[in-house]
Structure 1
Amino acid sequence: MAYKVDFKKVSTIGLESSPVADKLAGLRANEARYFRNKYRHEFVTMPADENPEILNRIETILKERDMEFPYKPLEVSDFVVENTRWSHVFYENGLEVNILYSLDPNGKRAVGFKLTEGMDVPEEFEGKFKFVRQRSSLAGIIRGTYFVIKGNY
């Protein structure tokens, strides 16, 4: 069932099985606030098992860097706003993966990773990426990194 994320009243709906559910809910709400403020777009997620094609698309793009995650995906989101397709997956361990994919062949295309506050850097990232910190009133300290997508998906 789809869930419209409310960034004013942060909820763990759909994320209850996560040991960091509160922080992950804050991270998800932070994304909702960004899309609402920047694009006037409502951020809607759905259980990952209800829409496996979104997760499959994200996993296909991650294979560009030989990345496969053993983590349980809880929620996904996929939408187009201002000629850019955005896809997200929120994992049980507190990792968020987001894809920014311009529909313009010369536009920006990247994969972003965000870690919830207190989460250890997963071994898949060690030595490959440098994380920067961002303070969020909804999510606390978010650590993030990204890579540019080279292929066409």
Structure 2
Amino acid sequence: MTYTVDFVTVSTVGLESSPVADALAGLRANEARYFRNKYDHVFTVEAADDAPEAVDRVHRILREERGIVIASRPLEATAFQVENIRMAFVFYESGLAVNVMYTVDDPKKRAVGFKLSEGMEVPEELASRFKFARQKSKLAGTIRGSFFVIKNEY
């Protein structure tokens, strides 16, 4: 079932099993607000089991680009296109959010982003590979984020 993420009234719907469900819901709402304000796009998600294409796309790019396998269980995912950018998001039980930004017509603007919900530890599979910058959000508290540039075609 598709869930429209509300960034005015933040809800943990679909994320209840996460030990940082409130922070993860805030992170998800933060993404929804960004896409609404920048692209007038309504951010929707569905259970990861109902969005295997999005989950598989993110996992394939992580594996093929950097040999990364996320240990946490995916809870929700989404994939959509805004303007010339194909986006895919996966929200994990640990509080991790991974997004793939794939610009269709500019290979130099393709990246994978990692965002850590407030209160979660850096996952072991990312800890030795990335440094995380901090960012404040009214919806999500302190978000720690990092990214890498995608080199191959997908």
- 2:136 corresponds to: 135
- 2:59 corresponds to: 59
CA shift at 1:123, angstroms? 1.0
CA–CA separation in structure 2 for the residues paired with 1:131 and 1:19: 21
TM-score (norm 2): 0.97
CA–CA separation in structure 2 for the residues paired with 1:32 and 1:70: 25
- 1:47 corresponds to: 47
Question: Superposed, which structure 2 residues align to 1:106-117 within 5 Å?
Answer: 106-117=107-118
CA–CA separation in structure 2 for the residues paired with 1:93 and 1:53: 21
CA shift at 1:128, angstroms? 1.2
TM-score (norm 1): 0.97
CA–CA separation in structure 1 for the residues paired with 2:8 and 2:108: 32
CA shift at 1:106, angstroms? 3.6
3-state secondary structure, aligned to 2:97: strand
- 1:18 corresponds to: 18
**1:69/1:106 CA distance change after superposition, 3 Å:** closer
CA distances 1:23-51 after superposition (whole Å, capped 9, x unpaired) = 10000000000000111110000000011
CA–CA separation in structure 2 for the residues paired with 1:106 and 1:128: 23
- 2:6 corresponds to: 6
Structure 1 runs (4+) greater than 6 angstroms displaced: none
Which sits farther off after the overlay, 19-28 or 105-114? 105-114
3-state secondary structure, aligned to 2:127: coil
CA–CA separation in structure 2 for the residues paired with 1:4 and 1:90: 14
3-state secondary structure, aligned to 2:81: strand
Aligned residue pairs total: 153
- 2:28 corresponds to: 28
- 1:120 corresponds to: 121
- 1:71 corresponds to: 72
CA shift at 1:105, angstroms? 4.1
CA–CA separation in structure 1 for the residues paired with 2:54 and 2:128: 28
Root mean square deviation, CA, Å:
0.8
